[in-house]
Structure 1
Amino acid sequence: MIYLDYQATTPLAPEAREAMLQWLDGPEGTGFGNPHSPHRMGRMAAAAIELARERVAALLPPGGRVIFTGSATEAINLAMRGSDRGQGGGIAASAIEHAAVLDTARALGQLHELEVDADGLCNTAQKLPEDVRLICVMQVNNEIGTIQSTLDWHRNAKAANALYLCDAVQAAGKVEVTSADMIALSAHKLYGPKGVGALWVRDGLELDPQITGGGQEQGLRSGTLSPALIAGFGAAAQVAKERMAEDAEHVEALWNRALDLFEGWELNGSAVARWHGNLNLRRDGLDVARLMSDCREVMFSAGSACASGSGRPSHVLRAIGLTDARAKSSIRLGFGRYTTMEELEAAAKSITSAAVQQG
C-alpha cells in the first residue's frame, strides 16, 4: 500500500515509538508509574512529561506554557470555552476553519465567519464586528494547505482588544509557528502518537478549566496524564524541529514532481501561500468514490478526513467558490517525511490511469 493521507494522520516516527516503549512497561518494569504519585516511579514519569513539555514548547513561540490535552480538538475547546473573552463576546473565525473551531463557536452562539478568497486566503484587512473578543484563523489549512498570516491576525486581535487562537495542527513541526495568544496542536500530525494534543497559552493569560476533578495539568485539565503518549509527542517534536529544513526540502521535491505527474488537473487553493505537502486537486466529472475503489492500494482522501462519510461537500472547497459538483470531484493527496519519490510516481500512475478510464 502507498500512504498519501498525511493531513489525516502521519506515520509514527521510530524515535517516538522508542520513547513510548519505556513508559509502557508492565509489572516487571518501572515505567508504568502514575506521574502524579509522589514516589520514585511517579517522579520518574513526571520527569519524562516535563522533558516532553520542553520539547513541544521548542516548536512554539517563547513566553508561554504548554498544557497537554487528549487531542487538538480538546485543546481548541479549552481555549474557546475557557477564555473569558470567548465566553463574553463574538468569535470571528475564517470560513475554512476546522469543524472543531466552527462547531464550537456555533455551540457558543457567537460565530462571525470571516471570508476567504478563491485561493483560500483570509483577508487581514476585512472589517471585524465590534463585539469580537476572540479571533480564530488557522495557520495551515487541513484540506487545501493554505498558509495564513498569523502575525497579521495577532496584530488585528490586539487592535480589536481580542484574543487570537491559532489552530497550528497542520503547521507545527513543518513551518515556524510565530505569534498568537493560544495555539492548538496535535501529536499525530507531526509523526507522534494519536490520543494526545496540546494547547500553548501566552504567559499572563488565564483560562477556566473545562474538565474538572483532580486538578492535574496546572489545574486546567483534570485526569491522569499518559507518560507514554506524551513522551512520544515530545520525541516527535524534537525530531521535527531538528529535521524541519530537511523535511521541507523533501516535500518540495515531491510537490514539484507531483505537479508534473498530475498535469491537466486543477489545483484547489493557492499554489504559493501553501504547505506543499498538501495537494488538493480536481478533475471535472470525476467520480471520487469509484476512483478510490479502483485505486485500493493508494491511501488518499476525498476531502477532509474529519468529515468523511457525511456525504456533504467540503465546506472549505465551497468557501473558496467551488460548486458542489466540483467540490465532490476533488481529491486530497498528502505526503511527507516517509514518502518516497517512487511511491508518489506509482500512486500518480494508478490514479491518473483510473481517472482517464472514467472518461
Structure 2
Amino acid sequence: MTGPRGADVTRHVVVDTDAGIDDACALLYLAGHPGVEITAVTSVAGNRPERDVARNIGCVTRLLGLAPPVARGAAGPLPGAPSVPRGTHGTDGLGAPLARHGLPRPMPAVSGESAAELIVRLARDRPGELDLLALGPLTNLALALRTDPALFTKYRSVVVMGGSGPYDLPGDRLARDSNIARDPAAARAVATAPRADLVMLGVDVTATAVLQPEGIAALDAAGTPVARFAAAILGAYLRLGDGTGRRGGVPLHDPLAAGILLDPSLATGTALGPVAVLPDGPLWRARLMRARDGRPAPFPHEPAPDTRVVTAVDTARFLRGFLTALTGGATAPGDASGATT
C-alpha cells in the first residue's frame, strides 16, 4: 500500500471530524504527507449540522482524489449538553467560498455502518495499527466506547483536539473550548476510558499556531487546486473571524492536532496526568488536573487514567510544514508562513 506520493504507508489515520474550515485543512495536511493513509473519515455534528459535515467531507476527499470509507455519525450531543454557537465557519462550514470556485459539495458514498460502529470495527480488525484523530465533539467516540470500553487500547494512538491545558487559577482568559463544550458528557467518557496513548491538544496551545495573511497568500500563489482551495477557505476564515476582516491571522487548531499525531516532536512541552471536564460558566472545559508548575489541582475530581497533554509546540516549524504539505513544496515556507509564537 502506498501513500499520496508513492512512499510506503507508515501511518493509517481514522479522522473523526465536524468538518469546518480548519478540519478541512487538517485533511489536506494529512494527504500532503508521504506515508500517510487517511483510512476512514467519520462525521459528527459540531461546526455545522451533521449533514453539512458529511457533504464537506465529500468536497474535500473529492478534491484530493481520495475515496476513504465515510461513515455518518452523531447528529447531536449526548443528553444534557449546553447550547453552543456554531462559530465562524460560515453557512456551509467551509466559509461559503465554494460556489465562487466551482467546487461541489456532494454527499459522499457512505458506509452502512454508523461512525461509532466503523471506529469500533477498524480497531478490532487492525489492533495496534491505526491512529484515531478526533477533531470535533467527542460524541462518536463516547458512543463507540459504549460498545467497546477497551477501544482506545486497540488504537496505536488517540489524539484529541480539545481541552484547555493544565489547571490554573480562576480568571484565565482562554479561547472557547468548543469541542468539549458541545458534548461534555462525551468528553468525560473519553477522559476516563482506558487507553494505550491518549494525547490532548487544547485551545491554550492551538490558538498560538496562527497562519498570517502572508501564509494564505503563499497558498494562493502556489496555484495548485489544493493550495488554492485552502487559501479560499482560510481567507474566508480570516474575514469571518470578527466580522470586520481585520483579524490578524487564522489559528490552525485541527491541522496542529494532525501535526502532533504525525510528528510528536512538534510538542516542545507535555504534562501527564488525569483530565477532568469542569464547568466554566454556562459551558464546560477539559483541564489537566495539574497546575503548570506540576502541583495537583486543589479540589477533588473524578479519577481518570493519565492523559498526555501538550503544553507547548514549535509553531514556526509546524507552520512551515503545513505550507509545504499543502503546496507540495512550491512555496518558500520559511519566508511565507508569517508565523507567530
TM-score range with shorter-chain normalisation? under 0.3
Structure with more relative contact order (C-alpha pairs < 8 Å, separation 6 or more): 1
Q: TM-score, normalization: structure 1?
A: 0.26
Larger C-alpha radius of gyration, 1 or 2? Answer: 1
Q: TM-score, normalization: structure 2?
A: 0.27
